Amino acid sequence: MRFLQLDVFTDTPYLGNPLAVFPEADGLSTEQMQTIAKEMNLSETTFVTSADAGGYDVRIFTPSEELPFAGHPTIGTCWAMRHLGMVAGNRLIQRSRAGETPVEVDGERLWFERTGTARADLRDGDLGVGATIAGAVGLREDDLILEAREIGRHGQLYPAVSSAGLDQLIVPVRNLAALGAASPNVEHMRALPGMGAYCFTAVGAGTIRARGFFPEVNVPENPATGSAAASLGIYLADRLGPIEFEVIQGVEMGRESHIHVVAEAGRVRVGGGCVLVFEGEISALP
């Protein structure tokens, strides 16, 4: 059974976030998919179970569990299916456990679109800007706040849960020094809402630096997290109004990624590039 390995949210091989795509996986069981994803040992591996003129059905696995939706697998799987000629056209529908996700091709960049919601800030109680969140990401409590003027807006930003298909804990941090010092504590992370923690800070109007920590799904740090960038877009649009920005992620891992986000209230588009690194074949199925 053949597969492709791509780097997503980059146009340079060996940067961005790697993804394995199995484009003809309709004969595999759930257990086989999970075993293969564990063997690939990437943050996600995708298995396409059917394709038609309008899109394709896909299942998305981390090394330890299946996800209803994920961002860089959406960009990468769509790119792979078009590269192989298994789908055509510039507007396609990806069907996963999270429902239908429109994907649009615009030159060298692919965009997916999601709707979502952002919850209230976590300022008080056990999950406020306090020991639980700070301990989970290895920072001090006073690091967990960001002045919105750094993004060219007004106000202050605090941690909150946001979702564009997956609940994500969005964690603003004071500056790049704090972002660089962040380090996940698995024990503390078990007490957090949502999946992992997506820490971000501003480096100027229109540009954000981020790090994504998801140790509970065997992804200690992710070099590019499209679903979390989508959730961040929903979060920022809810608080600051319509917004467009670029997320730079993976710098601390030596896998710099560039994620483009356009968001308004309740709706977000996330885009990026993709490059083929190698093609291979599974010679022994589990």
The pLDDT tens digits of the residues spanning 150-191 come to: 776 778 899 999 999 889 999 999 999 999 999 998 888 888
Residue range 207-229, pLDDT digits in tens: 999 999 998 888 899 999 999 99
**What is residue 194's predicted lDDT score, i.e. its pLDDT?**
78
Question: d(Cα 169, Cα 190) in Å, to the nearest integer?
Answer: 12
The domain that contains 147 carries what CATH number? Answer: 3.10.310.10
209 and 76 share one domain: no
203 and 249 share one domain: yes
Q: Does residue 92 lie in a domain region?
A: yes
230 and 123 share one domain: yes
Whole-number percent of the chain with pLDDT over 70:
97
Q: Does residue 125 lie in a domain region?
A: yes
Q: Does residue 246 lie in a domain region?
A: yes
95 and 125 share one domain: no
Cα dihedral across residues 183, 187, 190, 195: positive or negative: positive
Amino acid residing at 39? E
87: pLDDT strictly greater than 80 = yes
180 and 79 share one domain: no
Catalytic status, residue 44? yes
**What is residue 81's predicted lDDT score, i.e. its pLDDT?**
97
Half-sphere exposure of 62 toward its Cβ, with a 13 Å CA cutoff? 19
**What is residue 195's predicted lDDT score, i.e. its pLDDT?**
84
122 and 260 share one domain: yes
Q: Does residue 286 lie in a domain region?
A: no
28 and 46 share one domain: yes
Q: Which of 24, 31, 39, 44 is catalytic?
A: 44
203 and 236 share one domain: yes
- Nearest-5° Cα angle at 65, 60 to 69: 35
* Full DSSP string of 178-244: HHHH----HHHHTTSSSSSEEEEEESSTTEEEEEEEEGGGTEEEES--HHHHHHHHHHHHHHH-SEE
137 and 237 share one domain: yes
What is the domain extent for residue 50?
2-113+272-281
**What is residue 113's predicted lDDT score, i.e. its pLDDT?**
97
Mean pLDDT across 261-271: 97
Tally of structural domains, the chain: 2
127 and 249 share one domain: yes
**What is residue 242's predicted lDDT score, i.e. its pLDDT?**
96
Q: Does residue 203 lie in a domain region?
A: yes
74 and 135 share one domain: no
Q: Does residue 134 lie in a domain region?
A: yes
pTM, entire model: 0.93
Residue range 53-74, pLDDT digits in tens: 899 999 999 999 999 999 999 9
87 and 190 share one domain: no
Let me know: does 199 contact 274? Beta carbons within 8 Å: no
Question: d(Cα 169, Cα 43) in Å, to the nearest integer?
Answer: 18
Residue range 123-160, pLDDT digits in tens: 755 445 567 899 999 999 889 888 877 776 778 899 99
Question: d(Cα 36, Cα 34) in Å, to the nearest integer?
Answer: 5
Q: Does residue 8 lie in a domain region?
A: yes
Q: Does residue 195 lie in a domain region?
A: yes
Q: What residues are paired with 269 via a beta bridge?
A: 113, 262
**What is residue 130's predicted lDDT score, i.e. its pLDDT?**
66
**What is residue 232's predicted lDDT score, i.e. its pLDDT?**
97
SS3 state of residue 74: helix
Residue range 100-128, pLDDT digits in tens: 999 999 999 999 999 999 998 887 554 45
Summary mean pLDDT of the chain: 93
